[in-house]
Amino acid sequence: MKPTIESCAVVLSSALLHGCCCCGCPGGQWGQSSDEYFAEQEAERAAAVLRAPGYIEAIQSLHQWADTEDYGPVHCPEDPFLEIGSEFFQLTLWTADWDGLPGSTTGREHWEWLDHTEIEYVRRLIAADPTDSSLSLLPGDVGVVENRYLVVFKADDKAMPTDAEAGLRGRSYTKGVFQGGLLVADLQERRIICKVPLVTHSSDGVEPDDGGLLATTYQDALDEDFKRNVGDDARGALSLISDRIDVVVVGLF
């Protein structure tokens, strides 16, 4: 169903901020026809497909070129994020666990919940399984322009929380810990452009959720609490070096 003038008016405030109509009205930018808008989208998709191999190669060799001697802090330059984002909104960057990157030799457990969905796409493209019929669609997702910048969780010490006494409520548990830093990598120039220390752990007094369909085991509650703390503290740490970027720990959900 085509949007009406009335339905478009509901999102006028958002449209003014973005420079477009967000409810599907013809034309992406003001004064732009539908044909122009879709041609622009197709051109960007084609450009993303061309960028993807470079991003993948940079991720494969990141452990070789990334500066990991310390975690700074080193503040991020502002211009690169403004060029591909908006002055009104933060740019949400994709994330990866250093211990799961190709070529990592740390021997530490790979926390897949720290990896953005598109990092799994990268792995599938590297593996190049000939039976995977969806591979042709993935470069367009991996190569989007904002994926030029990757936030890497690099740990010197990390451990998931453990239920020390068989899940008995109110009993002791071993806290989860992450101690290391966040590295913001420019995959096009193959360098770390900013970084910040990150130290976080489980909360005190974690209890399982006993409410209906949301009920969890004690271990589930410990894991959820720790993942939430890692995500929240990562966002807080990034805010110390840039007000232009953000991350979401997707593994929490």
pLDDT tens per residue across span 200-253: 999 988 877 644 455 467 888 889 999 999 999 999 999 999 999 999 886 544
Q: How confident is the model at residue 2 (pLDDT cuts 50, 70, 90)?
A: very low
In a domain, 119, yes or no: yes
**Per-residue model confidence (pLDDT) at position 21:** 45
User: How confident is residue 113, by pLDDT bands cut at 50, 70 and 90?
Assistant: very high
Residue 212 lies in a domain: yes
* 220 assigned to some structural domain: yes
| C-beta atoms surrounding 165 within 10 Å | 11
Please report the pLDDT score of residue 212 as a whole number: 46
Query: Is position 106 within any domain?
Result: yes
pLDDT at 96: 96
Q: Once rounded to an integer, what is the mean pLDDT over residues 12-16?
A: 40
Residue 8 lies inside a defined structural domain of this protein = no
Q: What is the reported pLDDT for 171?
A: 62
Does 94 score more than 90 pLDDT? yes
pLDDT per residue over 124-140, tens digit each? 899 888 788 888 889 98
- Greater confidence (91 vs 20) lies with 91
Does residue 7 sit within a domain? no
Give the pLDDT of residue 190.
96
Structure-model confidence comparison of residues 108 and 33, the more confident one:
108
- Residue 118 falls within a domain, yes or no? yes
More confident residue, 71 or 206: 71
Chain segment 132-178, per-residue pLDDT in tens: 888 888 998 899 899 999 999 999 999 999 987 655 555 678 999 99
Which pLDDT score, from 0 to 100, does residue 32 have? Answer: 64
Percent of the chain's residues with pLDDT above 70: 79
Residue 34 has pLDDT above 50, yes or no: yes
Q: What's the chain's average pLDDT?
A: 82
Question: Domain limits at 139?
Answer: 34-252
What is the total count of domains within the chain?
Answer: 1
Full-model pTM = 0.80
Decide if 111 is inside a domain. yes
